[in-house]
Structure 1
Amino acid sequence: MTEVHALAGAYVLHALTDIERASFSRHLAECEACAVEVAELQETAARLADGTWSVPPPRLRDNVLAEVRRTRQVPPGKVDREATPAANRWRRRTLAAVAAGIIAAAGGTVSFVAQEQRVRDQRTAASAARAEAARVEAVLGAPDARLRTGTLSGGGRVTMVLSDSRDEGVVVLADAPAPGPDKAYQLWAIDAGGPKSMGVAGSDTQLVTGVRGMQALGVTVEPATGSKTPTLPILVTMAVT
Structure 2
Amino acid sequence: MTSTDVHSLVGAYVLDAVDDLERVAFERHVVECASCRTELEELRETSARMADSTWSIPPPRLRTDVMAAIGRTRQLPPQETVTAARKPRGNQVRRWTLAAAAALVLAAGTGTTVYAIQDQRVRDQSAVASAAQVKEARTRSILGAADVVVRTSPMRGGGKVTVASSASQDAAVVLLGADKAPATDKAFQLWAIHGTTPTSAGVLLAGESSAVRIVEDLPGSDALGVTLEPAGGSAVPSQLVAQISLV
More moved, 95-104 vs 153-162: 95-104
- Does 1:181 pair with 2:189? no
Task: Name the counterpart of 1:112.
Answer: 115
Other-structure match for 2:142: 139
TM-score, reference length from structure 2: 0.62
- 1:140 shift after superposition: 0.1
Q: How many percent of aligned residue pairs carry the same amino acid?
A: 38
Partner Cα separation in structure 2 for residue 65 and residue 84 of structure 1: 43
Structure 1 match to 2:219: 212
TM-score if structure 1 supplies the norm length?
Answer: 0.63
Equivalent in the alignment of 1:43:
none
Contact kept, 8 Å, 1:68 with 1:102, in 2: the verdict is no
CA RMSD of aligned residues (A): 3.9
CA distance in 2: counterparts of 1:61 and 1:99, whole angstroms? 25
2:246 is matched with 240
Task: Give distance in 2, aligned partners of 1:127 and 1:149.
Answer: 30
Please tell me whether the aligned partners of residues 13 and 141 of structure 1 are also in contact (alpha carbons under 8 angstroms).
no
Distance 1:231 1:193, change over 3 A: closer
Equivalent residue, structure 2, for 1:158: 161
Aligned CA distance change for structure 1 residues 236 and 175 (closer, same or farther; 3 Å): closer
CA contact (8 A) 1:73 1:98 kept: no
- Could you tell me how far apart the structure 2 residues matched to 1:166 and 1:83 are? 88
* Distance in 1 of aligned mates of 2:97 and 2:180: 63
Q: Partner residue of 2:36?
A: none
1:131 Cα deviation after fit: 0.9
- In the aligned structure 1, how far is the partner of 2:98 from the partner of 2:56? 31
Q: Structure 1 residue 123 and structure 2 residue 126: aligned?
A: yes
The SS at the match of 2:219 is coil
- CA distances 1:90-112 after superposition (whole Å, capped 9, x unpaired): xx999967754531221220232
In structure 2, the residue corresponding to 1:142 is in which secondary structure? coil
**3-state SS of 1:235 partner:** strand
Aligned to 2:218, what secondary structure does the other structure show?
Answer: coil
Cα distance change of structure 1 residues 83 and 162 upon mapping to structure 2, 3 Å threshold: farther
Asked if the contact 1:56–1:115 (Cα under 8 Å) also holds between the matched residues in 2, the reply is: no
Rounded Cα–Cα distance in structure 2 between residues aligned with 1:126 and 1:57: 18
> Tell me, what secondary structure is at the counterpart of 1:225?
coil
Gaps of 5+ in 1: 1-10, 22-54, 86-91
SS at match of 1:190: strand
Amino acid at match of 2:69: R
Deviates more, 1:134-143 or 1:112-121: 112-121
Cα–Cα, structure 1 residues 158 and 210, in superposed 2: closer, same or farther, change >3 Å?
A: same
**Alpha-carbon contact 2:176-2:211 (below 8 Å) kept:** yes
Aligned-partner SS, 1:179: coil
Residue in structure 2 matching 1:222, options 213, 223, 229: 229
Corresponding residue for residue 172 of structure 1: 175
What is the number of equivalent residue pairs in this alignment? 191
Using a 3 Å threshold, how does the CA distance of structure 1 residues 175 and 236 change in structure 2: closer, same or farther? closer
Which gives a bigger RCO, structure 1 or 2 (Cα 8 Å, sep 6+)? Answer: 1
Deviation at residue 137 of structure 1 after TM alignment? 0.6
Distance 1:66 1:201 in 2: 47
Bigger mean CA offset, 92-101 vs 136-145: 92-101
Q: Look up the equivalent residue of 2:217 and give its one-letter code.
A: G
Contact 1:140 1:161 in 2 (8 A): yes
Which whole-Å CA distance do the structure 1 matches of 2:69 and 2:27 have between them?
A: 56
